[in-house]
Amino acid sequence: MDYTAREHAFIYGVIAQELMRIAPGSEETLAESIRVYGLQRGARMGQTAEKFGDERSMRTYLAYGEWAPAPGEMDVEIPQNSPSAVWHVKKCPWCQEWTEKGMLDVGKYYCKYVDRELVHGFNADLELGTGTTQTNGDAYCFFEWAGADMTPENKAANAEIAKKVGSVRLKTWAYHMAHIYKTMGEVIGKNLGREKQEEIFRAADARIAEHLGKETVELMHLGRLIDFWVTPSLEPTDRLSEFF
- Per residue in 62-97, pLDDT (tens digit) is 999 999 999 999 999 999 999 999 999 999 999 999
85-91 and 128-130 beta bridge pairing: unpaired
pLDDT at residue 236, as a whole number: 82
DSSP conformation class of 76: E
pLDDT of residue 62: 98
**CA gap 134, 140 in Å, rounded:** 5
Bond preceding residue 83 cis, omega within 30 of 0: yes
Domain locations in the chain as residue ranges: 5-67+103-123+152-231
**pLDDT tens track for 109-136:** 999 999 999 999 999 999 999 999 999 9
In this predicted structure, what is the pLDDT of residue 1? Answer: 83
pLDDT tens, position by position, 145-156? 999 999 999 999
> Are 47 and 231 spatial neighbours (Cβ–Cβ below 8 Å)?
yes
Please give the single-letter amino acid code of residue 168.
Answer: V
Q: Number of H helices and number of E strands within the chain?
A: 9, 4
- Cα–Cα distance between 2 and 235 in angstroms, integer? 23
pLDDT at 179 over 80: yes
Are the CB atoms for 196 and 188 separated by under 8 Å? yes
Helix (H) or strand (E) run with residue 128 in it: strand 128-130
pLDDT score for 145:
97
Residue from 123, 111, 101 nearest 49 by CA: 123
Mean pLDDT of 159-173: 96
